[in-house]
Structure 1
Amino acid sequence: MADAPPPTVVIGAGVVGLSTALYLQRSGREVVVIDPLPPPGGASFGNAGMISADTAVPIALPGMLRKIPSWLADPLGPLAVRPSYFPKALPWLMRWIAAGRLPRVLEISDAMRALHKDAFLCWKELLGPQHYGDLVRPVGQVQVWESETETESARLERMLRERQGIPSQPLTPDDLRQMFPGISPKVRRGLLMPGNGYTVSPQRIVQTLHRLFIEAGGTLLAENVMKIVPREAGGYDLMTTVGFHRATEIVMAAGARSVRLLEPLGVRVPLETERGYHVMLPTPNVALTTTISHKSGSFGVTPMEHGLRVAGTVEIAGLEAPPDERRNQALLANIRTLFPDVNTEGHRFWMGFRPSTPDSLPMLGEVARRPGLFLAVGHGHFGMTGGPPSGRLVAQLINRQPTSIAPAPYSPARFR
């Protein structure tokens, strides 16, 4: 009897990896997921939980270059670069600034819209109606500003929303007081984005993907992949800390740690670690019906089943530097400014690694000159939004099926 063909291996058990694994499994493939951490390790655990289907604004925008001196000068600002890491980050930052030129921003926005618009549909496909109703809240998102007039960046964001046909509703200070009792009078205006939403638990929603995958016959190996070795006859061998595995195809979905596995294969990708922080408040005495994105302070607030999560800020410092707990203290100060009567007793801190590309678009697709090696990495701030649609697209590419959206904007080859 001939040996069974090797399975498709997905490296990474976060939201992107498990979404891809489920779509592949439901197409009839045997799938093995490998990750040293139980789901959801890494950024899939500690993110803000926002599902931003109607968000098509990249992180890099015009005018970033003049802001670099302030990033270096303020270690606790919304975006900071540790001076010791700056030389290593500089090539990525220069690509990031280049992606902020307006013609490129328009292209990126179009691609973000195409990928994100089906986020809730894909979550419902993966979870099923019952789990979806339990875990997902498609109730909109409110953006707020402390300025009374529209800022330059807000004008650009409005232009991008209008270009994409994304609906929004301006909110007055009185509207905001009614929606969010106790909100600071410093907040002068807001915007309702009705097409966005959130999950009540990033941890539990990814654990649910994992459980559905296992119940359908999938395998998750708690191992650390050390090296990927191409086979002359096709396919790959994977050397792990405790085993040796063979694969017909590999999906690289290991987040910020993907680089160390790709470089020995001669695959260079501009993937940087945007370190994000959150503070969890178990008894905040603040009741929210939607998430809040504080545009003036560059942080977000999400009501979750175990309390209020305050998340945000970006620190460019690599994978090895220890967390800077002062950034968590800054988030505490931010939420006290937004809601002066908030209760912060019993707060808990967290820091994780966003895998980010310079253009805010993930890398999805097969790697040139490495047949069978597919990337599903680089979602940055939008993993909970782009993860399920990315999993659908990568599964379609692997199965050589017609794709739900044009894959070219996300191709890893755009960075060659």
Structure 2
Amino acid sequence: MTEEGRRPAYTLQTPSPRERGEGEDVAIIGGGIIGICAAAFLAEAGRNVTVFDRTGICEETSSGNAAAFAFSDVLPLAHKGMIRQLPKWLADPLGPLAIPPAYLPKLLPWLIRFWRAGAAKHFEASLAAQAGMMKLAEAEWMGLLDRSGTRPMLREEGSLELYESAAEFRASLSGWRARERFGIGFRHVEGEEMAALQPGLAPRFVKGTFVPGWKTVADPKLLGQAVWAYAERLGARFEHARIERVEAGADGAAIALPDGTARKAKQLVIAAGAWSHLLARNLGERIPLETERGYNTTLPVSAFDVKRQLIFSGHGFVITPLETGLRVGGAVELGGIERPPNYARSKAMLEKAKRFLPGLDPSGGREWMGFRPSLPDSLPVIGAARAPNVFYAFGHGHLGLTQAAATGRLIRDLVIGQTPPLDLTPFRPQRF
């Protein structure tokens, strides 16, 4: 295999395990952006891949995210001051972070782990792990965009983070100093320079930080489906199926479907987002995954002329200009996967957006809620399960799109037995 990921010619002449009646070569559970990228990298390496998903390709959480390649977002969530702001945020049921009271007892063990992960003694290791992952992510995404012909979907206008007071700006400076250590470029702006970067801002914003290297995509769902089309051209297959249970042994893995049938595979990748830990439990592993329920409203493109992604960190949401609309969303609701959506949270962000961008037309929007799979130390699980022939790729929180290509590369290397380009110790499934 070449570094560019071209399939060696001999694979075109060799019958696949599927064609020989031996089951799947590699099965991937999850048709979101992580599973799609893993499929693309494995298909490039000549492996026969089948992706299983209950809805379709990029139809759930990967369809409605904020569309950012947030390669400069290296600060782990546990170190972003969330613990300090927790009491204030929780006092507002529609604020940046909400926890339904009835869910709190179930969430408490995760919150304790999150609090411990935010201790100062863990900061340097967490920062280095996240920074290394981001560097790999950017390199792998740029390569995959080129190979898949999706580079025109990339937008490179940078981002603008906005502050409503001098105190809020000062509180951000330690985080920017940490990013600077890893070569991340930015500049603080105010006055006319800030207004030029985004005309029409409310005067309440006194300072901003412009990150020129921040990237977004035209539409995350369309990008994911385009990357999948590339994987499909290389031989990857999709099967619409809800997976009930997984098993694994020395001779491979088996996945059980609701109709009582099963599919066998030599190797299995679990990339099922917020449901992944339930499948890992089938294999005897308990991974403390929780769900950040994210909300947004996508307005028509004409709602406001937003020049680049605007980040309102004090309020926990962003505004992103897409090819398909203007997306206003973010915030976190730690409420699991079973509670019905609370779209009052989408409406609250939209009301704030109207105040922040006077003249914004809030009509004609589409509300959405998705599940971000999150681990208490803000790092994903990437690595081999205790069970043989099974690999995990989940728990990316709000960075799934950003880190998907890096995860796809790492999973490919693990599956084919190649040394990964990144130390995977911080991401080990067994670290908990």
TM tier, smaller: over 0.9
Write out aligned runs for 1:265-284 (5 A).
Answer: 265-284=283-302
Q: Which runs of 5+ in 2 are unaligned?
A: 1-14
Write the letter of the residue equivalent to 1:268.
R
1:223 aligns with 2:241: yes
Q: Which among 396, 415, 425 is matched to residue 398 of structure 1?
A: 415
1:287 aligns with 2:305: yes
Rounded to whole Å, the distance in 2 between the matches of 1:62 and 1:212 is 37
Q: Which among 12, 22, 36 is matched to residue 30 of structure 2?
A: 12
- Give SS of 2:194's match: helix
Instruction: Give the match for residue 107 of structure 1.
Output: 125
Write the letter of the residue equivalent to 1:294.
F
Rounded to whole Å, the distance in 1 between the matches of 2:187 and 2:350 is 29
Instruction: Give the match for residue 68 of structure 2.
Output: 50
1:357 aligns with 2:362: no
Rounded to whole Å, the distance in 1 between the matches of 2:163 and 2:139 is 30
Query: How big is each residue's C-alpha offset from its partner over 1:48-85, in whole Å with a ceiling of 9 and x where there is no partner?
Result: 00101122111112754454444443211101111000
Instruction: Give the match for residue 168 of structure 1.
Output: 186
Q: Does the aligned pair in 2 maintain the 1:23–1:392 contact within 8 Å?
A: yes
Residue 150 of structure 1: CA displacement?
A: 5.0
- Give SS of 2:77's match: coil
Write out aligned runs for 1:17-416 (5 A).
Answer: 17-61=35-79, 64-128=82-146, 131-151=149-169, 153-231=171-249, 233-242=250-259, 243-368=261-386, 370-415=387-432
Residue 328 of structure 1: CA displacement?
A: 0.9
Rounded to whole Å, the distance in 2 between the matches of 1:120 and 1:260 is 30
Give the structure-1-normalised TM-score. Answer: 0.95
Query: How big is each residue's C-alpha offset from its partner over 1:265-286, in whole Å with a ceiling of 9 and x where there is no partner?
Result: 2110011001000111114442
Rounded to whole Å, the distance in 1 between the matches of 2:288 and 2:309 is 31
Q: Does the aligned pair in 1 maintain the 2:248–2:390 contact within 8 Å?
A: no
Query: How big is each residue's C-alpha offset from its partner over 1:71-114, in whole Å with a ceiling of 9 and x where there is no partner?
Result: 44321110111100000001111111111112212211111111
Stretch moving more, 67-76 or 37-46 = 67-76
Q: Does the aligned pair in 2 maintain the 1:225–1:238 contact within 8 Å?
A: yes
Q: Does the aligned pair in 2 maintain the 1:173–1:189 contact within 8 Å?
A: yes
- Give SS of 1:328's match: helix
- Give SS of 1:76's match: coil
Quote the sequence identity (%): 34
Rounded to whole Å, the distance in 1 between the matches of 2:304 and 2:83 is 38
Residue 5 of structure 1: CA displacement?
A: 6.6
Rounded to whole Å, the distance in 1 between the matches of 2:255 and 2:241 is 11
- Give SS of 1:125's match: helix
- Give SS of 1:19's match: helix
Write the letter of the residue equivalent to 2:280.
L
Query: How big is each residue's C-alpha offset from its partner over 1:200-247, in whole Å with a ceiling of 9 and x where there is no partner?
Result: 10010000111111121111100011011224x421111112442001
- Give SS of 1:118's match: helix
Q: Does the aligned pair in 2 maintain the 1:251–1:375 contact within 8 Å?
A: yes
* 1:87 to 1:309, Cα distance in 2 relative to 1, 3 A: same
Q: Does the aligned pair in 1 maintain the 2:145–2:151 contact within 8 Å?
A: no
Q: Does the aligned pair in 2 maintain the 1:124–1:132 contact within 8 Å?
A: no
Rounded to whole Å, the distance in 1 between the matches of 2:83 and 2:151 is 43
Write the letter of the residue equivalent to 2:394.
V
* 1:68 to 1:293, Cα distance in 2 relative to 1, 3 A: closer
Stretch moving more, 142-151 or 342-351 = 142-151
Residue 333 of structure 1: CA displacement?
A: 1.0
Write the letter of the residue equivalent to 1:254.
A
Write the letter of the residue equivalent to 2:110.
W
Residue 130 of structure 1: CA displacement?
A: 7.3
Residue 123 of structure 1: CA displacement?
A: 2.2
- Give SS of 1:314's match: strand
- Give SS of 1:175's match: helix
Query: How big is each residue's C-alpha offset from its partner over 1:339-376, in whole Å with a ceiling of 9 and x where there is no partner?
Result: 011011101100010000111111000012x1111110
Q: Does the aligned pair in 1 maintain the 2:380–2:394 contact within 8 Å?
A: yes
Rounded to whole Å, the distance in 2 between the matches of 1:387 and 1:154 is 27
